[in-house]
Amino acid sequence: MKQTRILMGMPVTLEVVDAGASEPLFDEVFDYFVYVDEKFSTYKNQSEISRINRGEIKFDDASEDMKMIFGLAEQTRQESNGYFDVHHNGIIDPSGIVKGWAIYNAAEILRKMGFVNFYVDAGGDIQASGKNDRGEKWRVGIRNPFNMDEIVKILSVTDCGVATSGTYVRGQHIYNPKNDGEDITEILSLTVIGPDVYEADRFATAAFAMGRAGIDFIEFLPGFEGYMIDKDKQATYTTGFARYVLNA
**Footprint of another protein (CB under 8 A):** 6, 8-10, 13, 15, 43-44, 81, 83, 95, 119, 121, 123-126, 128, 132, 138-148, 150-155, 162-168, 175-178, 180, 189, 191, 210, 213, 215-217, 219-220, 229, 233-239, 242, 248
Residue closer to another protein, measured from CB, 105 or 238: 238
Residue closer to another protein, measured from CB, 51 or 231: 231
Residue closer to another protein, measured from CB, 101 or 217: 217
Minimum distance from CB of 58 to another protein (Å)? 26
The CA distance from 187 to 185, in Å, is: 6
Residue closer to another protein, measured from CB, 198 or 237: 237
Minimum distance from CB of 204 to another protein (Å)? 9
Query: What are the residues whose beta carbons fall under 8 Å from the beta carbon of 233, sequence distance 6 or more?
Result: 146
Contact present, 131 and 117 (Cβ < 8 Å):
yes
E strand map for 61-146: 87-88, 91-92, 118-122, 125-129, 138-144
Residue closer to another protein, measured from CB, 72 or 126: 126
State the pairing for strand pair 10-16/118-122. Answer: antiparallel
Minimum distance from CB of 61 to another protein (Å)? 27
Minimum distance from CB of 48 to another protein (Å)? 17
Contact present, 13 and 4 (Cβ < 8 Å):
yes
Residue closer to another protein, measured from CB, 51 or 236: 236
Closest CA to 209 of 157, 167, 162: 167
Closest CA to 72 of 35, 104, 31: 104
E strand map for 56-201: 87-88, 91-92, 118-122, 125-129, 138-144, 147-157, 160-166, 168-170, 173-175, 187-194
